[in-house]
Amino acid sequence: MSTTTAQPKATSAFVAQAAIAFGVSFFGAGIGILYLPLDIWQRGFLAMSMLFLVTSTFTLSKVVRDQHEAASVHGRIDQARLEKLLAEHDPFTSVT
């Protein structure tokens, strides 16, 4: 007996919405930094901070995804071991 669980997939509409939201927010923050009444070094600092925030967010999301995938693999291995033990167990044998 094999039970497979379907992995949830993101729809194309969700992927498009996420990409559009990212693009709009990144563009908006960039325009905001560009038009702030600050010196060039202050704008540069804010721009570098924004870029660092974006790259660290991508890294964090990858780490979270990898941890989730690793946990689901361990869960499937544990489930397979349990199914094997249950399949091999004979409740009518006596323990002496």
Q: What is the pLDDT of residues 24-43, one digit of tens each?
A: 999 999 999 999 999 999 99
Residue tagged 């946990």 (tokens): 71
Confidence (pLDDT) at 74: 73
Rounded to a whole number of angstroms, the CA Rg of the chain reads: 25
Give the model's confidence band at 96: pLDDT under 50 very low, under 70 low, under 90 confident, else very high.
low
Q: Are 45 and 35 in contact (CB under 8 A)?
A: no
Q: What is the pLDDT of residues 31-86, one digit of tens each?
A: 999 999 999 999 999 999 999 999 999 999 999 988 888 777 777 787 788 888 88
Using a cut of 0.85, tell me whether the model's pTM lies above it: no
